[in-house]
Homo-oligomer: A and B are copies of this chain.
């Protein structure tokens, strides 16, 4: 119950699609989605595998609450060895795709091997087939989705696909679903591209059964009663995640110009207020409204339009110079996109940010990694390491909206300097001889939280299993109040475990600040066998965390990778709450290892693995 008890296995090398029973014992131990997908993945894939080889696998996994009426119950994860990072990746998405897949009857889809020529996967309940995608190869996500719906005669098909970035192996290519949601980070789209799998289209009509429908309905009702009046929920609805920009800027934690600075003087031109007030040159508002995922009552997403008359959005558009005016309204700027294209590149031009955001969804690029990689290229250029010869004459300087736009366009198609930017900041900076200019941890680019003022986030960045991430722990509220390393190790450890459980359940981690996790336990317990309570959720989360860690250690990572970029530990923050301070992990990291039951070398002790039945 709640699980569908079915796994779809697709071997692209042999073009075979088979169905097997779900390992229910694993579901009891790892819940679903990120946890259960990681269990299957680590059981089946050698940690030393090349991410882009046929031996790597890509698992799309739903959770037990996916496609139920649990608020925000539309989440799914893509688990693989990340092309960008070489670490275990679990990229979560919202939208409608995951719920449709679950309703087609599958908890997981395991994709293995490599097709000889481009294909797409078409799932209609029990009817599953691989079809040629030759006609789609080279097309953007925004062309692929409508094309497939027409081709299949299924206007309601939900689609996850890669754009050109995934096809050509941009290291941080993502898998986009429902036009503007994405399995975003770590290069899961490059893995999909390496398998020559262009898209998955799905239509499901099986429905989902919960264990005790009456009790489940009551649990959902109880959860909504707490969630809907929550001020955090309301802020997400009315202001979106973009609201955070004023907060981090004020606090001095808004990474600016490749982390040279922690506050951005141009915030007022690109913050949530600016987006709300923005009008296009035809006088219409740029922002059209909210966008909510399956079963979501928050609606933190935004529907925006871009200005067809902006001189920036024509020139070298990979979709052709006239494409801009035909683009439909789509997902607007969120905090991370606005940060990465804005302050991190020193750009305060909202038209440029909007356009590059559209481009990211259209061509399937992780906007965080794209923005930070461009920022690194800008600093390399300003330092003279990248020259005009490398850029074919493009002045790749901080603050230049034109440079941002052209660099993004080139990256999407792998042309010129864009081919290097598509390697990600770490490989880019190594190539140009200045590795210290890459704002990355374990090869993945920084989200919009500078670790000098935010002490808990510093530890969260350093220890995140999927490489640098702001969503794998929740120390932020405490970080804004307490600029101290004291107490952070426990907070990071505890919330990492809790988030791992939430990410495995089928609901959105944003709910964490809107209702207590007891409510999640109550819903799970009504939906699934197993006697779910808060304690068990924490235990499952801790098990997942250690499973991921063990994979990464076997893949070649070690304690020496639990670190932050040199700049953040040697150049003090200029201004804000952490003014004059650098990030310092020394004490926190040891505390954290102890709390985790890991040795001083960062390796889980045998007793810890025993305790967690690993």
Contact = CB atoms under 8 A, between A and B. Distances in A.
A580 interface: no
| Copies of chain A in the complex | 2
Contact of A482 (B239, B251, B486): B239
Interface residues of A, number: 33
A497 to B, nearest CB: 11
A490 B231 CA distance: 9
Interface string A219-231: 0001001100101
A268 interface: no
Interface string A460-496: 0000000000000000011011110011001100100
A234 B487 contact: yes
Contacts of A515: 516
Nearest to A517: B226
Nearest to A577: B250
Given A235-B487, A250-B577, A577-B250, A482 B243 contact: yes
A486 B231 CA distance: 12
A470 to B, nearest CB: 16
Interface centre among A226, A250, A487, A494 (most CB of B within 10 A): A250
A481 B231 CA distance: 11
B481 A247 contact: yes
A234 B478 CA distance: 10
A382 to B, nearest CB: 31
A577 B478 CA distance: 18
Contacts of A244: 481
A243 B478 CA distance: 11
A226 B486 contact: no
A512 to B, nearest CB: 12
A491 B231 contact: yes
B516 A231 contact: no
Given A225-B534, A231-B491, 12 more contacts: A225-B535, A226-B534, A231-B477, A232-B478, A238-B486, A238-B487, A243-B481, A243-B482, A246-B482, A250-B251, A250-B577, A480-B480
Interface of A: 222, 225-226, 229, 231-232, 234-235, 238-239, 243-244, 246-247, 250-251, 477-478, 480-483, 486-487, 490-491, 494, 515-516, 518, 534-535, 577
Complex A-B, nearest 4 residue pairs according to Cβ-Cβ distance, in ascending order: A231-B478, A516-B516, A250-B577, A231-B491
11 contacts: A226-B516, A234-B490, A243-B481, A246-B482, A246-B483, A247-B481, A250-B251, A477-B477, A480-B481, A516-B516, A518-B518
